[in-house]
Amino acid sequence: MLTTDDVQFFRANGYLLPGEQMFSEERLARLEEIFNDHLAHKGDKLSDELDTPHYRDERLLEFLLSDEVLDWIEPLIGPDIALWSSHFISKDPFTGRATPWHEDSAYWEGRFDSYDNIVTIWLALENPSTRENGCMRVIPGSHLSGGFSPNYVPTDMTEQTFHAEIAGVDEEKAVDFELQRGEFSMHDGRIVHGAKPNTSPVRRTGYTMRYFPSSVKMQDVPQNEGWSIWLARGRDLAGNTYANVPTPAR
């Protein structure tokens, strides 16, 4: 589905906006139903804290391991693909917190032996994702700096979704990821990105789906304890342990 030019653009800029629908209307509506199930049973969690919902709900694997998704991922990371994580992120009307400037890779330091081919899909659910309701924003090309910026400073988590942000980001360079319902963006795990708060009456909901090449080794470190990954397509190339592949007898 991606052209050579698309892949080259992603390599240079760290993101893509395909302008396409990921799923059929029927499948999209089913995914939105699942999201609302999780939202209704979130307990004391905030609406932007519904992390790894596929651990608790196998219905989501139907989407995460689907050809509709993996056919977009494969041109960027190759045919041997592992599912790393997923996350429902919902910013409530008027009160949805801002997401500070950050690199995803900075929160994963030590968890992998390589970070240069981790790709996230951000899928808009229920409503468009716009500047007014706090769409995602990126700094093009910032992934080429390596993904571990030194200049993080503390944030106020009553207003921000993370405890730290990158200081001194030139917001004039930011690209806003405005998406229609069912459209998606793709970004490199090392790119500097964030989002403004939701100041509109429209809820902003996204489902992130994150993948890496199976040639990348998930390290045996405390941060990965209890973490599950799935072999989404192809072969394991690094000796990882997968939730959906039986462990060989010893």
Q: pLDDT at position 51, please?
A: 86
Domain total of the chain:
1
E strands, 94-244, are: 99-102, 119-125, 136-138, 152-154, 164-166, 175-176, 184-188, 193-195, 204-213, 230-233
192-208: burial string, b at 16+ Cβ within 10 Å, e else: bbbbbbbebebbbbbbb
pTM of the model: 0.94
196 lies in a domain?
yes
Residue 240 within a domain = no
Does some domain include residue 69? Answer: yes
Q: What is the pLDDT of residue 161?
A: 81
Confidence of residue 162 (pLDDT cuts 50, 70, 90): confident
Residue 172 domain-assigned (yes or no): yes
Q: Which domain holds residue 126?
A: 4-233
How many other CB atoms sit within 10 Å of the CB of residue 181?
Answer: 16
Mean of the pLDDT values across residues 118-136?
97
CATH number at residue 66: 2.60.120.620
Please say if the pLDDT value at position 235 is more than 70. yes
pLDDT at 211 over 90: yes
**Residue 242 within any structural domain of the chain:** no
pLDDT tens-digit series, residues 26-67: 999 999 999 999 988 876 655 555 789 999 999 999 999 999
Give me the residues paired with residue 185 across strands.
Answer: 122
